[in-house]
Chain A
Amino acid sequence: GAVVSQHPSRVICKSGTSVKIECRSLDFQATTMFWYRQFPKQSLMLMATSNEGSKATYEQGVEKDKFLINHASLTLSTLTVTSAHPEDSSFYICSARGGQGDLSYEQYFGPGTRLTVT
């Protein structure tokens, strides 16, 4: 149980275009989803937290107009990188939380999406 999927796993896009990444909780309802960014050989940096049906909360320094997050249902959150530039190239990972009791403090991670902007 507690499987999180991401689609696509890899995407290459041209500079100036927009890219949408999907994050789905497959076997549980995710009350909260998180989006992280990971640069090569570095740690995960939290970009934003989203709760179903409400606006995402962005971390300091993250441009909300550039990284659009939608959490339309309890099983789906999307991250859209708008007007992508080469510096947006990175590994984007989502996680979901939705258990009860002690499990509510666990985050289940997706496999990640590697974005390359040319």
Chain B
Amino acid sequence: AQSVTQLDSQVPVFEEAPVELRCNYSSSVSVYLFWYVQYPNQGLQLLLKYLSGSTLVKGINGFEAEFNKSQTSFHLRKPSVHISDTAEYFCAVSLMNTGFQKLVFGTGTRLLVSP
């Protein structure tokens, strides 16, 4: 079965510090990978995606992620966070055996940025 694991349910960090949000997946078929951000009582906004090509992907708001096939990981990073980055972050995969149609989400990581 395919799954997405976000090991950290909550990550507290001080403003201007670096942060890494971890995401691992398991799949026997090729995947596309996504990171979404959700602010309170809102829908999801795409931060970045990996479909193919360079394994280092840059997204919006200064975020980047690196696809590591051997470790089946797609960790999200930001070198210096802002208070406004406080939100819920979801890692998601879409699978080749569904034609990359459906998204399977991880359980989410709440990033808490304090002054």
A positions within 8 Å CB-CB of B: 4, 6, 32, 34, 41-46, 49, 91, 93, 95, 97, 102, 105-112, 114
A105 to B93: give the CA distance in the assembly, Å: 11
Give the size of the chain B interface in residues (CB under 8 angstroms): 21
Q: Which of B39-58 contact A (CB under 8 A)?
A: 41-46, 49, 51
> Would you give the shortest CB distance from A36 to chain B, in whole angstroms?
8
A114 touches B41 (CB 8 A): yes
A109 to B96: give the CA distance in the assembly, Å: 21
14 A–B contacts, CB within 8 A, in A order: A32-B101, A42-B107, A43-B107, A44-B103, A45-B105, A49-B101, A93-B44, A95-B43, A97-B101, A102-B51, A105-B49, A105-B100, A109-B43, A112-B43
B44 touches A109 (CB 8 A): yes
A95 to B106: give the CA distance in the assembly, Å: 17
**Using Cβ atoms and an 8 Å threshold, which residues of chain A touch B32?**
105
> Would you give the shortest CB distance from B10 to chain A, in whole angstroms?
10
Interface residue? B67 (CB, 8 A): no
Interface residue? B74 (CB, 8 A): no
A102 to B102: give the CA distance in the assembly, Å: 15
Nearest-CB residue, chain B, relative to A42: B107
> Would you give the shortest CB distance from B102 to chain A, in whole angstroms?
6
Which one of B49, B51, B103 has the greatest number of beta carbons of chain A within 10 Å? Answer: B103
A105 touches B102 (CB 8 A): no
**Using Cβ atoms and an 8 Å threshold, which residues of chain A touch B104?**
46
A93 to B90: give the CA distance in the assembly, Å: 14
Which one of B32, B44, B100 has the greatest number of beta carbons of chain A within 10 Å? Answer: B44
**Using Cβ atoms and an 8 Å threshold, which residues of chain B touch A91?**
41
> Would you give the shortest CB distance from B105 to chain A, in whole angstroms?
5
A93 to B43: give the CA distance in the assembly, Å: 7
Which one of B36, B102, B106 has the greatest number of beta carbons of chain A within 10 Å? Answer: B102
**Using Cβ atoms and an 8 Å threshold, which residues of chain A touch B51?**
102, 105
Interface residue? B94 (CB, 8 A): yes
